[in-house]
Structure 1
Amino acid sequence: MSVTLPAPGRMEGRTVVITGASSGIGRAAAIELAALGADVVVVGRNPERTRAVAEQIGGRAYLADFERLDDVRRLADELNRDLPAIHVLANNAGGIGPKTETVDGFGSMFQRNHLAGFLLTNLLLPRIVATAADAPPASVRIIQTASAAAASGRIRFDDLDTKKGPWLAGWRAYGASKLENVVFTRELARRLAGTGVTAYAFHPGFVASGFGNRGALVSFGQRFALSSEQGAEPLVRLAAAPDVPAPSGNYFDRLKAPGRLPKQADDAGVAKALWSVSEVRAGLR
C-alpha cells in the first residue's frame, strides 16, 4: 500500500542540521525550513556559499569537507558543543564525480555519499536520542538523501570503493552509494527502535542542480528536470510533517513510499554487514 507525505507543519523551537546545504536541494530545504520557523544549521564545504545561505536565513554556518573524515569528526565536535538539541539531521551531502581516492584511502563516492554521513550520524546520535526523550513521539528524525539510482545499485563488500570493473562515468559507484544510503537507513531504524527517533531515506527526483559532472546525456536531460525547490520538497516534508505515514526505515520516491528498490535493500544480513564494515572504516571501532 502506497502512502503520501503530508504537508509540512510549523517548526518553531526545533533545530535542523542539513549537510550539503550551500547549494541545490540542501540550500532550498534550508530556506524553506527556516521560513517554517526552524533553527537551521547550514553545513557545507564552500565557505562563501555556506555562509551566504546561513546569513540569508538567519541560521548558523559550519564547514566540513566530507572527503576528509577528520573534518567530519571536527564538525561533530562543534555541533555537539554548540547545539543543546538536534531535532532533525538531514544527511544530504553527496554527488557523483571522477574516480578518485580520498585522503583517508577510500573511494571518494563511497566516502562522500555514505561513510561521512554514517560517521556524522553516529557521532551525533547521543544528542539526537537525548532530544527525542523530551520531544513528541516520532518528531525527531534522521533523513538521508538517496536516489532512484539505488534501484540499479549493488553493494559489493569485496569492492566497496568500486575499483574493479568498468567505471561507467561513475554511475556504478553512485548507484551503490545510494543503495548504501537506504540500507544504512533501514539498519539505523532497527537500532533506534524504542528511542523515539525515526529514520527515512528519499529520492528527490531528477533535479537540475550541479551535484557533479554527469555527462552529455544527463546534461541534455536537465531541460526536463525539477528545480532545486521541487527536489527539496520530500526533505522538507520529512523534516516538518507532523506525522510521517510510514514506519521508520522507509524509502520515499519523491512523496510516496515505498519506493522501488533491489532485493539487497531488504536483506538484514547485508544491512548488518554494511554497518559493521562502515564502523571499522570510519574508525568507530
Structure 2
Amino acid sequence: MSKEVQPERIDGQTVAITGATSGIGFFAAAQLADLGARVLVLGRSESRGHAAVSALPDPPRHEFLQLDLADRTSIARAGDQLSEVPLDALVLNAGVVAGAFGPGQARRVGAFGVEEIVGINHLAHAELLRRALPAVRRVVSLGSTLTRKIPFDRENWLSERDYRARVAYAMSKHAVEIFGFELHRRLADLQSIVVHPGGAIDALTLGRPGARAARALFRGIVRGKDQAARPVVAAVASLELRGGEYLGPHRTAHAEVQQPVTTSRDPELGAWLWTETERLLGARIPAEPRHPIG
C-alpha cells in the first residue's frame, strides 16, 4: 500500500521556486502561499514575475527575483541573492521541455558548453543550488515519468553521439533525479526530495475554458497544472518527510511516496554524476556525506 502525503501549514517559512511565473511553478507558489509561506518567485520576465506575485494570496508577503537559467551571470546573481536568505525550501521547477524545440530541431549548445536541455534543466539548477548553500534546508527537484520510458544512457547523456530532443529531455530528467538522491547522500544538513508531477496539460487546468469537462474526459490519464503542483506542495510542506523520498500524484491525497526507476537511486551512478556535474560547472559543491539511502 502506498503512503499518502498531505501538506501542513508552514506559516512564516520562506520558499523559493524557479519558474514560478506560470504553469506548475505558479500553482505550487499559490498553494504554498495559501499554507502561509512567503514565496520568492524566480523567473526570467520581470513583468510576468511581478504579475505572478500580485496574483498570490497576500502579495506584499512575497517577492520576485530575476533568474534566467540559460545565462550563467543571471544564475550567479540569483544564487548569491538566495544565499543571503535562510530558505526553508528551494524548489527546482523551471526548465525546458522537448516540445519547445520542435520536430527536427538540431542539437544546441548552451551556457554550460553542453547540450542545452540538460544544461538548463540540470546543470543550471545545480549551479544555483551550489551558490545558495548553505542557506537551504530542503530541496525539491522535479523529475519526470519519462524516465520510465527512456532509460538513462550514461554514454550519451549529453547527446554527443546522436540527438533527439525527447531523448535529451529524458536524459535531463534522469540527471535531475539521480542528482536529487545524491544530494540527500552528500549533504547531511539538507533534506532532498524528488517529485514527479505526472502528465499535465494547460487544457485541464482550472481557470481554463472547458477545464472541468476536460478533466472528466481525461480523469486518471493526465491532469491540469494546478493538480500537478500538488506533489511539489506536499514535498515542501509535509513536515513528516525527512529527505530521500520520491513523490508522485495521488487520486485523493496531495501526493504519495513512490519508487523511481532503479538508476535514479543507484549510489555508484550518483557519485559519477556528482563528479561530472562538478567538472561541467568548473566548481566544487560543498558536501558532508550522510549514510547512504537504504
Q: CA RMSD in A?
A: 2.1
Q: State the alpha-carbon separation in 2 of the partners of residues 279 and 29 from structure 1.
A: 29
> Does the CA contact (< 8 Å) of 1:206 and 1:226 recur in 2?
yes
1:64 counterpart = 2:72? no
Q: TM-score scaled by structure 2?
A: 0.80
Q: Deviation of residue 43 (structure 1)?
A: 0.3
1:242 to 236, 239, 255: 239
* Matches of 1:123 and 1:199, distance apart in 2: 16
The aligned amino acid for 2:229 is: A
Aligned-pair CA distance for 1:104: 3.3
From 230, 233, 242, give the equivalent of 2:230. 233
The answer to whether structure 1 residue 252 and structure 2 residue 231 are counterparts is no
Q: Can you list the C-alpha shifts for 1:108-138, whole angstroms capped at 9, x where unaligned?
A: 110111111111112212112xxxxxxxxxx
Gaps of 5+ in 1: 129-139, 211-220
How many Å apart are 1:157 and its aligned residue? 4.1
Residue in structure 1 matched with residue 17 of structure 2 by the alignment? 18
Residues 1-285 of structure 1 mapped to structure 2, 5 A cutoff: 2-6=2-6, 8-57=7-56, 58=59, 59-81=62-84, 83=85, 85-96=86-97, 97-98=100-101, 99-128=107-136, 140-167=137-164, 170-193=165-188, 195=189, 197-209=190-202, 224=218, 225-244=222-241, 248-254=243-249, 255-261=255-261, 263-285=262-284
Quick one: structure 1 residues 77 and 187, their matched pair in 2 at CA, closer, same or farther if it must change by over 3 Å? same
Map Cα deviations across residues 146-202 of structure 1 (whole Å, 9 max, x no partner). 1101223444444332132351xx211111111111111111001123x2x311111
Which residue number corresponds to residue 215 of structure 1? none
- Give secondary structure in 2 for the equivalent of 1:126: coil
| Paired residues of 1:182 and 1:251 also in contact (CA < 8 A) | no
8 Å Cα contact 1:153/1:179 also seen in 2: no
Q: Which amino acid aligns with 1:123?
A: R
Displacement, 1:61?
A: 0.6
Structure 2: how far apart are the matches of 1:267 and 1:12? 36
Find the aligned partners of 1:120 and 1:166 in 2 and give their Cα distance: 26
State the secondary structure of the residue aligned to 1:284: coil
Structure 1: distance between partners of 2:202 and 2:50: 19
Structure 2 SS opposite 1:185: helix
Q: TM-score, normalised by structure 1?
A: 0.82
Quick one: percent identity of the two aligned structures? 29
* Runs of at least 4 residues off by over 4 Å: none
Q: Deviations over 1:46-88 (max 9, x none)?
A: 222112112222211111111122221111112223x2x1000
Distance 1:199 1:269 in 2: 18
Q: Within 1, Cα distance between the matches of 2:73 and 2:154? A: 24
Query: Is the Cα–Cα contact under 8 Å of residues 150 and 177 in structure 1 kept in the other structure?
Result: no
Q: Which runs of 5+ in 2 are unaligned?
A: 102-106, 204-213, 250-254, 285-294
